[in-house]
Amino acid sequence: MSATTAQGSAINQLIIRGSIVKPPRMKRSPAGVSHLLLALEHRSMQQEADLTRQCYARIQVVVSGDWAESWSTKISLGSEIEVTGFIQRHENANGIPRLVLHAQNIKQV
What integer is the mean pLDDT of 14-31? 96
Distance CA 86, CA 100 (A): 8
pLDDT band at 9 (very low <50, low <70, confident <90, very high): confident
- Name the pTM for this structure: 0.86
9 domain residue, yes or no:
no
40 domain residue, yes or no:
yes
90 within 8 A of 50, measured Cβ to Cβ: no
What is the structure's pLDDT at 7?
61
Write out the residue range of the structural domain in which residue 48 sits: 14-108
What CATH number is given to the structural domain containing 36?
2.40.50.140
77 domain residue, yes or no:
yes
Q: How many domains does the chain have?
A: 1
Radius of gyration from C-alpha coordinates of the chain: 15
